[in-house]
Chains A and B, each alone.
Chain A
């Protein structure tokens, strides 16, 4: 059946182009063909729709990227041959965007001052400055208004020169077709009282020109014109405070800056070159935090691997005795911590180790208040202890597997030669075991190097370093520091966080190069 449907299509031209296995590249026959065309059609329709949306929002770059990807996918699936590409394309699209691209993008952000107060471009910053520093125009005419509730939140309806105008916080006042008013519902007195805060904070731009100011109402009935106390001079690119007369100019730091250094916030994001990296190295408070965090990251990752490995190995040896009964039960119970979600493990232990109410202090230590999680050294110990609990079953399983795969003949031969049990272990079993386990130890090290969950769930990186000006604690590892700098607290510094990320990338690459050389993983590829 397949041959019948595909045979006519693989006529002369394809053969001539030198495709040897054309007949095999068309599987499934008509049904597959139809499925393929329908799937591509759906994809293309979605892509065209997405491109229209993007163009409508002036996102030309996004539109063109979607266009290129869609085109490529169409070519790959419609062209004969290119079989590997057909299988690789779906995963590769995601891989390229959400793994390769974002890593590159991290590199870009590391060279900007992106973060709190520098979130957007200059035009947005000007707009925002003009909208936030507003005062009522002294002789403003009063506008009778009606507050409306629409799909985009509250809006104001104004009667002016016989025209009905509607606008909301995003869209300036504009004439509206009376029929379109049906989309809105009018707020009654009770609603006005109930949503008072929303109503008073509503500012509707008078027109597209931000210098015209906005319309605001305090009672929901009368509105007045408000304009900014800042005056933007487009030609000179300066902001002038009309009250104090201070002139703020763009001095290249991503914000309008007064001669005395005072900055108007929000600013905008600019390229700052190596600033973030220089800051990380020269600013003493950042540098000392970075150094202590890096050292602890290595210590934590190394000790985590070492403790879990030795406990796992010890247990594997103990339970690797065929005479022993009930080994299975012990093994299943000891696997439980590994099956328990790691983030929950951290949270549960955080409760058990709580200084005032936790089980460990209250019951095991008879009411002592030992600061397990709040003393710098004890917190480090606790993190390792909990990670041992979470991680030893893995090493136990791995070591058991490795020990059992060592042929019994070897130890028997050694025994005949007069070796003692410990010698057999140290000189014969251990080296063989290490050979098979070494790659796993390295990957375990790499995993713990970025083991965010255990740190953050148990101590949140705390207790905070005494000397550092940054929000960094003594159990923070590099990845949790990145997270805190970027997403915790009111001051978010994406640029600096990305610079830290790049530093981690470099460290991880270095480790990878060394471990590749060791295990020669690349040579095993064929």
Chain B
């Protein structure tokens, strides 16, 4: 400490040693952390900008820059990336919106009404939530095959069918998160509205939904993220390439022509990750609250 040099000229005088002992070493860890966290992401970005395309040539970090891989990505007709992207957005957004609505309806009734079987309902939701849907993927596949013989729109290789399957999982996961939040909205608000002559539906749609908007955002986002990153059910239900989602399509990119098409895959990965990451960072504040309330990754 005696040999330490003073590095700060402004503010209270501190030696380098003192600074290091107090917060400096934390910065050291912070820098290491940033490298660990961000490096693979920078690597994908650099690989996607590498026009050469192979896995080996992607190791040169940002050595060459070009957008050819992005052009190739959209030009490939066997692997219609644009369709995957649109499908994923359609399936993800529809499922998220419907999950929020279904979950909010259920949470409202559990939070505001007292009825026979309410406790049973809450407990069974908790129990159902334990068993993730993907465990029953075989049964889902066979059920949809059977349904598809009668109604092609609800069969294998149909996105509506996939959305309906996802909605089956909506109540279990979301109702709990919402139920807790609904309970924090004072019931006096409902009562005041009732006295003013508002009915239950008006109270729910015009008042409560606004007050619980943060949890709606969290549930919508979590549902969107889990839907768009689902591989198991989507890969079983969606068969033809033009119907598939990003998770299924990008996996086929890698599993079939791993090393030669690497930069094209990386370009796809970058584009696929951007909307999710943007949403996530944008709504970060809300999510952190929701996460600690019981969502997991």
Contact partner of B150 (CB less than 8 A), chosen from A53, A83, A91, A501, is: A53
Beyond A87-B108, A94-B102, is A343–B113 a contact (Cβ under 8 Å)? no
Contact B164 A24 (CB under 8 A): no
A359 within 8 A of B: yes
Contact B26 A319 (CB under 8 A): yes
A284 to chain B, nearest CB (A): 24
Contact B22 A323 (CB under 8 A): yes
Q: Is the interface of B mostly helix, strand, loop or mixed?
A: helix
Contact A325 B23 (CB under 8 A): yes
Contact B199 A87 (CB under 8 A): no
Q: List 20 A-B contacts (CB under 8 A).
A: A25-B199, A25-B200, A27-B200, A32-B201, A53-B151, A84-B109, A94-B170, A319-B26, A330-B34, A334-B34, A341-B229, A341-B276, A342-B229, A344-B44, A354-B258, A389-B36, A394-B291, A397-B292, A479-B135, A509-B130
Q: Give every chain A residue within 8 A of B26 (Cβ-Cβ).
A: 318-319, 321, 324
Q: Give every chain A residue within 8 A of B126 (Cβ-Cβ).
A: 521-522, 525
A239 within 8 A of B: no
**Interface residue tally of chain B, by bracket?**
35 or more
- Chain B residues with a Cβ under 8 A of chain A: 22-23, 26-27, 29-30, 33-34, 36-38, 40-41, 43-44, 47, 54-56, 58-59, 101-103, 105-106, 108-109, 113, 115, 118-119, 121-123, 126-128, 130-143, 146-147, 149-151, 164-165, 167-172, 175, 194, 197-204, 225, 228-229, 231-232, 235-236, 247, 250-251, 254-255, 258-259, 262, 265-266, 269, 272-273, 276-277, 280-281, 284, 288, 291-292, 294, 296-297
Q: Give every chain B residue within 8 A of A338 (Cβ-Cβ).
A: 280, 297
Contact A88 B105 (CB under 8 A): yes
Contact B255 A460 (CB under 8 A): yes
Give Cα A456 to B254, complex, Å. Answer: 12
Beyond A91-B171, A321-B26, A339-B281, is A525–B123 a contact (Cβ under 8 Å)? yes
Q: Which of A53, A343, A501 has the most CB of B within 10 A?
A: A343
Beyond A98-B133, A344-B273, A452-B134, is A398–B247 a contact (Cβ under 8 Å)? no
Contact partner of B269 (CB less than 8 A), chosen from A99, A344, A460, is: A344
Contact partner of B284 (CB less than 8 A), chosen from A95, A335, A486, is: A335
A248 within 8 A of B: no
Contact B200 A483 (CB under 8 A): no
Contact partner of B34 (CB less than 8 A), chosen from A105, A333, A348, is: A333
A147 within 8 A of B: no
Contact B175 A91 (CB under 8 A): yes
Give Cα A325 to B281, complex, Å. Answer: 21
Contact B297 A457 (CB under 8 A): no
Nearest residue (CB) in B for A54 is: B150
Give Cα A3 to B27, complex, Å. Answer: 66
Contact A103 B269 (CB under 8 A): no
Q: Give every chain B residue within 8 A of A341 (Cβ-Cβ).
A: 225, 228-229, 247, 272-273, 276
B93 to chain A, nearest CB (A): 16
